[in-house]
């Protein structure tokens, strides 16, 4: 196709003198050709835009019906083997580790990279052997199917102090680039077909200019697709290896276990206590039958609190603790005279020895009942 275009361009250039004599006809021809190009480009744009939208919509629909989600990543520990083959997932990890046997661990890491059919993209070393402070930073590219096994092997080479993993779904971006490449290839084919029909040098130059723009876009999108394919096929693992004299303890100590158990018992007894307080308050306000409804609501709130984020749980807790202050303050203000009366009665009877009837309750009926009970005991 390109040879045909160049041959026609050469023959047209050689007949430049003839083109001058046909200027009027050429002007009419260019007008006709420009309209044809515009109509063809418009037809191409609308047709390929429709193809692109349809392609994207089908892909989006497929994505909506997919069982893959961020929760699946968490449950599978970011294992590429559990992800659908149609998804384009980029896996990355960052590992910080230390060792007392620097040379052995370093060799084991390199062997793990080789065993996983990966390669080291970059290496940075430093430190002093005499002071025991050597370090190495690796950036390893590991095939996605060997990503999980490599992390396991690397973890066995030294003492891992931290591990951060991430998974990025680039399926939408990949489908977008793929659709644009298809549309640009169709446009290039149409322009080549128009070039075969060009009758003037101006027509051919205009087509060549458009072909150049299309080719530039094709190369750009092709590069983007190759980059995404490489990112999907090879996971990036950054490894920081530090030589130390004493390893940082990573196992759970007895103290940490004891604190965890104490917190568990504290939380459990707190739930029991608040359940009892709330039940008695509801019983006092609304009667014994209402306590069943309260208990159901209490259990539902326990379940929701167990699954919500800790920040949201603390926000709700702080809010209701603040609201609890309102009835407490109202009670303190309203009952303040009664508290003073009971305190004065107690001081008179127990300290000053003044014979007075004990004040046992704010409510007269309860006061009479309590007084009768004390008389019976005497």
Mean pLDDT lowest for which of 76-90, 144-158, 189-203, 351-365? 76-90
Task: List, for residues 200-256, the tens digit of each pLDDT value.
Answer: 888 889 999 999 999 999 999 999 999 999 999 999 999 999 999 888 876 677 888
- Give the pLDDT mean for 252-270: 89
Domain boundaries, given as residue ranges, for the chain: 2-63+175-222, 87-172+233-243, 254-307, 329-378
Q: Tell me, what's the pLDDT at 90?
A: 94
Task: Work out the pLDDT band at 377, boundaries 50, 70, 90.
Answer: low
Q: Tell me, what's the pLDDT at 63?
A: 37
- Give the pLDDT mean for 346-362: 85
CATH class name, domain 87-172+233-243: alpha beta
Task: List, for residues 118-151, the tens digit of each pLDDT value.
Answer: 999 999 999 988 888 899 999 999 999 999 999 9
Q: Tell me, what's the pLDDT at 38?
A: 40
With a CB cutoff of 8 Å and minimum separation 6, the contacts of 118 are 140, 141, 142, 143, 146, 150, 234
Task: Work out the pLDDT band at 87, boundaries 50, 70, 90.
Answer: confident
Burial class from Cβ neighbours inside 10 Å (0-12, 13-18, 19+) for residue 120 reads middle
- Give the pLDDT mean for 347-375: 81
Q: Tell me, what's the pLDDT at 309?
A: 87
C-alpha distances out from residue 52 to 45, 59, 69, 182, 308, Å: 10, 10, 25, 9, 41
Residue given tokens 């997919």 in the structure block: 66
Task: Work out the pLDDT band at 116, boundaries 50, 70, 90.
Answer: very high
Task: Answer for the pair 56, 175: CB distance below 8 angstroms, yes or no.
Answer: yes
User: Which residue(s) pair with 235 in the sheet?
Assistant: 142
Q: Tell me, what's the pLDDT at 217?
A: 94
Q: Which two tokens stand for residue 62?
A: 């497929």
Q: What sign does the dihedral 174-180-183-185 (CA atoms) show? A: negative
Average pLDDT in the chain: 78
Whether 338 has a pLDDT exceeding 70, the answer reads: yes
Task: List, for residues 308-337, the tens digit of each pLDDT value.
Answer: 888 898 899 899 889 989 989 998 999 898
Q: Tell me, what's the pLDDT at 358?
A: 84
Task: Answer for the pair 32, 39: CB distance below 8 angstroms, yes or no.
Answer: no
For the full predicted model, state whether its pTM sits above 0.75: no
């Amino acid at each position: 196709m390109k040879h045909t275009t160049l041959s026609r361009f050469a023959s047209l250039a050689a007949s430049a003198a003839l083109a001058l004599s046909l200027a009027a006809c050429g002007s009419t021809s260019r007008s006709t050709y420009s309209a044809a190009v515009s109509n063809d480009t418009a037809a191409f744009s609308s047709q390929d835009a429709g193809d692109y939208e349809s392609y994207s919509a089908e892909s989006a629909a497929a994505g909506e019906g997919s069982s893959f989600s961020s929760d699946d990543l968490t449950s599978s520990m970011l294992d590429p083997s559990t992800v659908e083959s149609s998804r384009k997932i980029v896996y990355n990890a960052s590992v910080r580790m230390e060792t007392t046997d620097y040379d052995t661990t370093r060799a084991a890491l390199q062997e793990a990279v080789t065993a996983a059919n990966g390669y080291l993209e970059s290496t940075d070393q430093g430190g002093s052997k005499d002071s025991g402070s050597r370090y190495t930073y690796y950036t390893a590219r590991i095939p996605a199917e060997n990503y999980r096994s490599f992390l396991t092997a690397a973890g066995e080479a030294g003492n891992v102090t931290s591990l951060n993993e991430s998974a990025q779904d680039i399926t939408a971006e990949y489908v977008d680039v793929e659709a644009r490449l298809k549309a640009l290839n169709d446009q290039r084919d149409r322009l080549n077909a128009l070039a075969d029909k060009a009758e003037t040098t101006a027509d051919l130059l205009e087509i060549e200019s458009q072909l150049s723009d299309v080719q530039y876009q094709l190369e750009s999108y092709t590069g983007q697709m190759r980059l995404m394919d490489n990112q999907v096929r090879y996971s990036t693992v950054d490894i920081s290896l530090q030589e130390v004299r004493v390893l940082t303890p990573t196992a759970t100590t007895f103290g940490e276990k004891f604190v965890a158990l104490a917190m568990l018992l504290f939380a459990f007894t707190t739930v029991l206590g608040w359940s009892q307080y709330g039940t008695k308050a509801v019983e006092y306000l609304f009667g014994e039958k209402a306590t069943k409804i309260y208990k159901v609501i209490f259990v539902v709130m326990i379940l929701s609190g167990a699954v919500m984020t800790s920040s949201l749980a603390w926000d709700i807790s702080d809010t209701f603790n603040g609201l609890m202050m309102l009835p407490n303050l109202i009670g303190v203000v309203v009952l303040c005279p009664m508290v003073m009366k009971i305190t004065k009665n107690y001081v008179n009877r127990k300290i000053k020895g003044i014979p007075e009837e004990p004040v046992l309750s704010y409510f007269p009926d309860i006061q009479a009942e309590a007084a009768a009970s004390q008389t019976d005991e005497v």
